[in-house]
Chains A and B, each alone.
Chain A
Amino acid sequence: GESVGLHLPTLSVQEGDNSIINCAYSNSASDYFIWYKQESGKGPQFIIDIRSNMDKRQGQRVTVLLNKTVKHLSLQIAATQPGDSAVYFCAENRGRDDKIIFGKGTRLHILP
């Protein structure tokens, strides 16, 4: 089965609130993690990434947190906007393998 997964398939958030999307991974050898955003009818778009030697990384309105102790990854989106409505995937690279493994995705739904 999938070793990269998400705790919630659908997340509904009020516009303006912060969103937190979670992801679990099972392989302690994974050392590179990526978050992608996929809008309807489009391909996945890179949001932010983090290496295993980091606990936190910030971008524009997004923050990724990595907890290696419990093998957990989260994506925080500040002041969620209607344009944030999409499916979000986490992905992991295991020990610098030639490929990455994707989770099944979480759909973020923005409430007006």
Chain B
Amino acid sequence: NAGVTQTPKFRVLKTGQSMTLLCAQDMNHEYMYWYRQDPGMGLRLIHYSVGEGTTAKGEVPDGYNVSRLKKQNFLLGLESAAPSQTSVYFCASTDRVYNQPQHFGDGTRLSIL
């Protein structure tokens, strides 16, 4: 049972480059989330999705885009990477928000030079 899988696990980019982070879940969950985690801070929500074909902005959406074309996948895109986007990115999914904890992947460590 894989749960939530994030790829890649590590990546180094140059400023201005673009890339896509992939999150895949095999639990048939409706809700999926992208967070970033910086030193000394908790998890901050970037974007989320309440179902296939839907997305919504979270707390820190600027500089990121997302897509949920398939229920099991949630993609996070950086169109033009900036050093301020150096962070650890976590994906999570849940069947419902209330009374149901989120399941997390092990993160993507992204460095922007």
Binding site for B on A (CB under 8 A): 2, 4, 31-32, 34, 36, 41-46, 49, 51, 89, 93, 96-100, 102-105
Contacts and interface: CB of A to CB of B under 8 A. Distances in A.
A2 B42 CA distance: 9
Contact of B48 (A4, A42, A51, A98): A98
Interface residues of B, number: 26
A44 B97 contact: no
Given A43-B107, A102-B35, A102-B44, 11 more contacts: A36-B104, A41-B106, A41-B107, A43-B92, A43-B105, A44-B43, A44-B90, A96-B97, A98-B31, A103-B42, A104-B40
B33 A104 contact: no
Residue from A46, A89, A99 with most neighbouring chain B CB atoms (10 Å):
A99
Contact of B43 (A42, A45, A46, A102): A102
Contacts of A97: 97
A43 B58 contact: no
Contacts of B41: 104
26 contacts: A34-B101, A34-B102, A36-B104, A41-B107, A42-B106, A42-B107, A43-B90, A43-B92, A43-B105, A43-B106, A44-B92, A44-B102, A46-B101, A46-B103, A89-B42, A96-B98, A98-B56, A98-B97, A99-B45, A99-B58, A100-B102, A102-B35, A102-B42, A102-B43, A102-B44, A105-B42
